[in-house]
């Protein structure tokens, strides 16, 4: 058992398989075997895993609707020296799954919190998505209510990087349609049943993917939507407009603007400077420019 602080237990945040049971790490198996208690979303679900692994550690439920209440009970046990492992139904806890309340309370009480890394549907999908950018935005699950869900997608419409979210099987088609109306009919990727026998990866526009999800669906989805296209604003051709464009839109100094305009128009800086100096004073300017 890893070292703990005197008289208290340790909270282990343990990643478990998202599908294929071979993905659990030897460290995770050891921790789940050695702790005094496993806190899980659904004891019936986790029971199947620990039975498969021949682990006999007791289970206790820790689910969203009772998270605050159960966190307080588990914190008391940790303070009394009980060693606890926190797991979700699949993947890494606290990523769109319960756990963050208990983690915050444990840290606030000086309880050691130790991550035991492993599978995550988010990272698994990204690893095979072939994204050209290294950055992305993970938004978790969209709201279940229609208006809130539409607002959710509108709020992320301008993101220049891929938008990634999870969705349940019974809401996937509606969410894809809401995303299309808010974001436009962008290219997207859909992942389902990752690491399982019926693993599926679909690509297409949001409208195409929505049509492919008509009817009954099984398994949670990971959705990756292309980011918004960035279009550079056209530079004005008129010298006066160009001066004001550099001042108001590009946030550069007067000196830098004159240099850029001279290069843009291939004319001497001296012919631009006096006019730029006059126009620069017609609006608010940075005193350091």
Q: Output the tens digit of pLDDT for each of the chain's 289 residues.
A: 444 456 899 999 999 999 999 999 999 999 999 999 999 999 999 999 999 999 999 999 998 888 999 999 999 999 999 999 999 999 999 998 899 999 999 999 999 999 999 999 999 999 999 998 789 999 999 999 999 999 999 999 999 999 999 999 999 999 999 999 999 999 999 999 999 999 999 999 999 999 999 988 998 999 999 999 876 556 666 788 888 877 877 677 888 888 888 877 778 888 888 888 888 776 544 434 4
Task: Give the domain-ending residue among 119, 147, 177.
Answer: 119
Residue-wise over 14-47: b if at least 16 C-beta within 10 A, else e? bbbbbbeeebbbeebbebbeebebbbbbebeebe
Count the domains in the chain: 3
pLDDT at 231: 64
Placement of tokens 């699950």 in the chain: 141
pLDDT at 284: 46
Pairing type for strands 221-225 and 163-167 reads: antiparallel
Claim to verify: residue 102 and residue 137 sit in the same structural domain: no
CB 261 within 8 A of CB 279: no
Tell whether pTM > 0.85.
Answer: no
CB 204 within 8 A of CB 152: no
Between the alpha carbon of residue 189 and those of residues 140, 169, 170, 219, 277, the distances in Å are 16, 15, 18, 16, 51
pLDDT at 232: 57
Please indicate, yes or no, if residue 147 is contained in any of the structural domains. Answer: yes
Q: What is the largest CA-CA distance in the chain?
A: 84
Please indicate, yes or no, if residue 247 is contained in any of the structural domains. Answer: yes
Claim to verify: residue 164 and residue 188 sit in the same structural domain: yes
pLDDT at 86: 98
pLDDT at 254: 83
pLDDT at 282: 62
CA distance 179 to 157: 9
Task: Give the domain-ending residue among 72, 87, 119.
Answer: 119
pLDDT at 41: 92
Claim to verify: residue 33 and residue 80 sit in the same structural domain: yes
Please indicate, yes or no, if residue 211 is contained in any of the structural domains. Answer: yes
pLDDT at 202: 96
CA distance 173 to 23: 30
The residue segments making up the domain with residue 68 are: 11-119
In sequence order, what are the beta bridge partners of 189?
A: 203, 224
Please indicate, yes or no, if residue 233 is contained in any of the structural domains. Answer: no
Placement of tokens 């990204």 in the chain: 126
Claim to verify: residue 18 and residue 84 sit in the same structural domain: yes
What CATH number is associated with residue 214?
Answer: 3.30.950.10
Please indicate, yes or no, if residue 1 is contained in any of the structural domains. Answer: no
In sequence order, what are the beta bridge partners of 166?
A: 222
Claim to verify: residue 24 and residue 82 sit in the same structural domain: yes
pLDDT at 2: 44
CB 111 within 8 A of CB 9: yes
Claim to verify: residue 249 and residue 179 sit in the same structural domain: no
Please indicate, yes or no, if residue 3 is contained in any of the structural domains. Answer: no
């Amino acid at each position: 058992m890893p070292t703990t602080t005197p008289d208290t237990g340790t909270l282990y945040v343990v990643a478990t398989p998202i599908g294929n049971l071979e993905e659990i790490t030897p460290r995770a198996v050891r921790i789940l075997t050695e702790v005094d208690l496993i806190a899980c979303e659904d004891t019936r679900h986790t029971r199947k895993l620990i039975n498969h692994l021949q682990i006999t550690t007791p289970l206790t439920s820790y689910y969203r609707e009772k998270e605050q209440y159960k966190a307080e009970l588990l914190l008391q046990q940790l303070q009394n020296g009980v060693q606890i492992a926190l797991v979700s139904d699949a993947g890494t806890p606290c990523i769109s799954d319960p756990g963050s309340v208990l983690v915050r309370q444990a840290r606030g009480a000086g309880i050691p919190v130790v991550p035991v890394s492993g599978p995550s549907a988010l990272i698994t999908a990204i690893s095979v998505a072939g994204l050209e950018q290294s950055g992305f935005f993970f938004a978790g699950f969209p709201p279940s209510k229609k208006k809130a869900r539409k607002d959710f997608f509108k709020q992320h419409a301008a993101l220049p990087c891929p938008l990634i979210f999870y969705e349940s099987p019974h809401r996937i088609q509606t969410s894809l349609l809401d995303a299309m109306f808010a974001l436009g009919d962008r290219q997207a990727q859909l992942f389902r049943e990752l690491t399982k026998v019926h693993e599926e990866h679909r690509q297409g526009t949001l409208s195409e993917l929505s049509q492919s999800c008509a009817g009954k669906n099984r398994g949670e989805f990971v959705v990756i939507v292309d980011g918004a296209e960035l279009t550079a604003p056209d530079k004005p051709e008129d010298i006066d407009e160009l001066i004001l464009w550099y001042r108001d839109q590009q946030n550069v100094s007067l000196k830098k603007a004159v240099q850029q305009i001279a290069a843009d128009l291939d004319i001497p800086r001296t012919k631009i400077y006096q006019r730029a100096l006059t126009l620069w004073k017609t609006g608010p300017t940075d005193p350091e420019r």
